[in-house]
Amino acid sequence: MDEVKTDMLVIGSGAAGLAASVYAAESNQQILVIDKGAIGRSGSTVGAIQIASLGSWSHPEDSLEAYREDISDSGRGLSSPVLTDILVQDISDRIEDLLQWGLKLDKNVHNDILVAATSGHTLPRSISSKKGKTGLAILQVLTKKARKRNNIQRWSDVITLELVKANERVAGAVVLDLKKNKPYLIRCKAVILATGGIGQLYPITSNPAQSTGDGFALSLAAGASLVDMEQIQFYPVSLINPPSLSGLCLSFYHSAKLYNRNGERFMKKYEPETMENTTRDKLAIAIASEVEGGLGTPNGGVWVDAAENIEEVKRQFHHEYQLCLDRGLDFERHQAEAGPAAHFIMGGVLIDRNAASTMPGLYVVGESAGGLHGGNRLGNNALSECVVFGARAGMSAAREITQMSSITADVPLQTNKADKLIAVISNSGQGSERSYTCKKAVSELMGKYVGVVRSTEGLLQAKKELYAIEEKLAHVKIMSSPNFYSKEIVDYVEALHMVTTAHAVVEAALTRKESRGAHYNKDFPAQLTEAEHTIVKIENGKMTVQEEGEI
Amino acid sequence: MNQLVVKIDRSEMRTDQFEIDLRSGMTVLEAVDAIYFYHDPSLAYRYSCRTGLCTTCMMLINGKPGLSCMTIAEPGEDGILHLAPLPRGKNIKDLIQEV
Ligand SMILES: Cc1cc2nc3c(=O)[nH]c(=O)nc-3n(C[C@H](O)[C@H](O)[C@H](O)COP(=O)(O)OP(=O)(O)OC[C@H]3O[C@@H](n4cnc5c(N)ncnc54)[C@H](O)[C@@H]3O)c2cc1C
Ligand code: FES
């Protein structure tokens, strides 16, 4: 296998991966950032609208303490106090850096920085750029900065198959350059993993095509621990119809009204005080319960009506409004079918204050990391997490590897897993299963059994079906030529990562015998007094779960 | 269900024609997806956000550059939907250009 050498490998080029690269590059170490899609244009970051932060725009009553408390309340006992402290302490400095590098914040009519209120934040602290295309704006600023550094190399269309280790330390990765399906062994001193979330594990999702949970599977196989993987945020009000917009988040839901099939404004049964303007976990559970109770719309959602506040919707959420209008859905005149869509995973790789995982040599940032948001992520804290922990990981990994002498030379040349995977691809002419169909099967079973409302029986069924899909994947049929870019090969690698990650979610969900945050099991509807974390690992080739009080 | 004829300029000077089931409101990206799922799994194309933001799904649609996720699948003047990679840049395969 051909080899590539670099000091630091960054996997994923969303806000987290690019922030890590840019801050790491201050050290003069050589940094290689790779992405399975187009660099800087393939993650969830692209779609993000606002970012929460303290700063000169802060409300007079806002403070580190107030922000910290909001995160901790929202986390339902599962937010790590250490990570929360760091987020609230570091965020204003990181926004300052971005502003210095060219980020421009949106202003109101008085030319003051526009600050928006967001459900669950007790004070308004959400700011934006490029008229609500904040994720894109941050990516552009970071990309510009990265281009200026000649110690950052960028490589698009290359998918990670496996992390490799030397002397019990992550020291590289086996990747597949999708342009020619050529495998490479990348040798480095540290890896920063920033591969985003898991939306594609579900049939309805707001997430981009690339959110197939690769990073969780890669980290597990490398020996790192995952925390609270059962905590998956479903964006409560996302379009179900038309199919081309399935999963589109309706950011204006707090000013819209929701009705069940009988025309009843059902939130009065669940949250009479806040009604629709409640946190995402509660709203998603309410909607899913209506649908479960037979009160859903024909396509299994509820009706959303935004006519009353349509002017506000047009003004503040213009992109969404226009997008719907272009597909024949005019919120001024029509109600739409909406329901919960897989949006964000609060769980993820267990990290410390500098984003180091439990496996030496492996740092994990952004949505792939777990522990900060606990049982429910507050809106607009995801981008904040990306820049804060991206920066920390970049700087701290650079510090660590500056002291290391040379790139470890004794990484095993080919690892078992990647070897097998490449062999299956080479022999796939004889197979019978489409990789795309396997991906679809994973998302369907996750939607059915591991969605908003779960049951122990359903989770056990999910586990069984996942094993069956795993079996099928061993007999994959790839009809396209392996010498050129092949979507079938991408789908195959992603399907493998999806199955491992789905297993981790199911195991964690089976272990949490209560309902807490985004995890709702109707067999255990109550929340226990003590909050425990679920920790998933792979030990001696077997997936294990433990419960731990503190992380 | 209506049928739509889609003609795609692919790698190595190849042009292929497919006939797909057309749903109302179907986007070009959904049409390309349908070809990959049901007609030709070797078709290569790129997309990410499906909401008009990332621009990675850009291709020539009936001769004009456009975002496939944002454009409704409709035949051109000759009754056929024509798709081709963007003319600029190096082609990786079929509808995918190097970034
Ligand atoms: C529609 C939408 C709207 C949102 N709005 C907001 C908002 O307003 N405010 C907010 O704070 N948060 C929001 N979020 C959440 C937030 O955008 C994400 O959590 C965050 O941007 C994740 O960033 P990231 O860098 O961790 O990952 P991503 O941006 O998802 O990037 C991950 C990258 O890794 C690459 N990758 C994945 N696997 C591999 C592999 N195996 N090999 C190589 N590369 C790989 C992907 O191609 C991708 O480019 C929103 C999310 C969505 C989907
Ligand atoms: S897929 Fe992102 S713009 Fe079309």
- Do B93 and A47 count as a contact with CB atoms less than 8 A apart? no
- Shared domain check, A99 and A197: yes
Average pLDDT, chain B: 96
- pLDDT tens, residue by residue, B8-55: 999 989 999 999 999 988 999 999 999 999 999 999 999 999 999 999
Q: What is the CATH number of the domain that holds A493?
A: 1.20.58.100
Q: Is residue A410 part of a domain?
A: no
What's the pLDDT score for residue A318?
84
Any ligand 1 atom below 6 A from CB of A219: no
The domain boundary residue, chosen from A307, A324, A340: A340
Task: Give the mean pLDDT of A57-65.
Answer: 97
Distance CA A365, CA A357 (A): 9
At A287, is the secondary structure helix, strand, or coil?
Answer: helix
The H-or-E segment that residue A454 falls in is strand A453-454
Of A379, A122, A125, A114, nearest to A252 by C-alpha is A379
Above 70 in pLDDT, residue A411?
Answer: no
State how far the Cα of B33 lies from the Cα of A180, in Å rounded to an integer. Answer: 22
Taking CB atoms and an 8 Å cut-off, how many pairs form between chains A and B? 95
Domain boundary among A340, A358, A381: A340
A175 in any annotated domain: yes
Q: What is the pLDDT of residue A281?
A: 83
- What's the sign of the alpha-carbon dihedral A24, A26, A30, A36? positive
Tokens 């086996």 sit on residue: A174
The tally of domains found in chain B comes to 1
Instruction: Indicate if ligand 1 lies below 6 Å from the C-beta of A16.
Output: yes
CB A537, CB A226: distance < 8 Å: yes
Query: Cβ of A58: how many Cβ atoms within 10 Å?
Result: 19
Examine residue B37 and state whether it is found in any structural domain, yes or no: yes
Fill in the amino acid letter for A324: C
| B31 in any annotated domain | yes
Region A182-197 average pLDDT: 96
**In this structure, is residue A25 part of a structural domain?**
yes
pLDDT in tens, A435-494: 999 999 999 999 999 999 999 999 999 999 999 999 999 999 999 888 899 999 999 999
Do the domain assignments include residue B11? yes
Q: How many domains in chain A?
A: 3
Give yes or no for a contact between A132 and A49, defined as CB atoms under 8 angstroms apart.
yes
A43 CA → ligand 1 middle, Å: 4
CA dihedral A382, A384, A385, A387 (to 10 degrees): 130
* Residue tagged 């690698």 (tokens): A493
Percent of chain A with pLDDT over 90: 87
Domain that holds residue A213: 2-230+344-402
Q: Is residue B39 part of a domain?
A: yes
Q: Which is the closest atom of ligand 2 to the Cα of B69? A: 4
* Contacts with B43 from chain A: Cβ below 8 Å: 487
Q: Note the pLDDT tens digit of each residue in A285-316.
A: 999 999 999 999 999 999 999 999 999 999 88
Residue A260 · residue A295 · CB < 8 Å: yes
Q: Is residue B22 part of a domain?
A: yes
Residues A420 and A538 in one domain: yes
Q: Are A10 and A31 in contact (CB under 8 A)?
A: yes
CATH number at residue A193: 3.50.50.60
pTM, full prediction = 0.97
Domain of B59 in residue numbering reads as 2-94
Decide if A407 is inside a domain.
no
Within 10 Å of residue B14's Cβ, how many Cβ atoms? 9
Kindly report the average pLDDT of chain A as a whole number: 95
Helices marked H in A261-415: 267-270, 280-292, 310-316, 318-326, 381-402
Within-domain flag for B35: yes
Give the CATH number of the domain where residue B17 resides.
3.10.20.30
The verdict on A85 and A220 lying in the same domain is yes
Q: Is residue A409 part of a domain?
A: no
Closest CA–CA distance from residue B42 to any residue of chain A (Å)? 4
Tell me whether residue B99 is in a domain: no
Per-residue confidence at A167, pLDDT binned at 50, 70, 90? Answer: confident
Q: Which of residues 42-61 of B touch A (CB under 8 A)?
A: 42-56
Structure confidence at residue A430 (pLDDT): 85
Kindly report, residue by residue over A326-384, the tens digit of the pLDDT. 888 999 999 999 999 999 999 999 999 999 999 999 999 999 999 999 999 999 999 99
Round to whole Å and give the CA distance between A187 and A68.
39
Domain end residue (candidates: A402, A430, A448) = A402
Q: What is the pLDDT of residue A551?
A: 87
CATH number of domain containing A262: 3.90.700.10
Answer yes or no: do A17 and A132 share one domain. Answer: yes
Q: What is the pLDDT of residues A18-49, one digit of tens each?
A: 999 999 999 999 999 999 999 999 999 999 99
Q: Closest residue of A to B52, CA-based?
A: A323
Q: Name the pLDDT band for A319 (thresholds 50, 70, 90).
A: confident
Burial of A265 per CB tally in 10 Å (0-12, 13-18, 19+): middle
Contact B70 A208 (CB under 8 A): no
Task: Give the per-residue pLDDT at A410.
Answer: 64
Identify the pLDDT of residue A481. Answer: 86
Q: What is the pLDDT of residue A269?
A: 96
pLDDT at A414 over 80: no
Residue A408 belongs to a domain: no
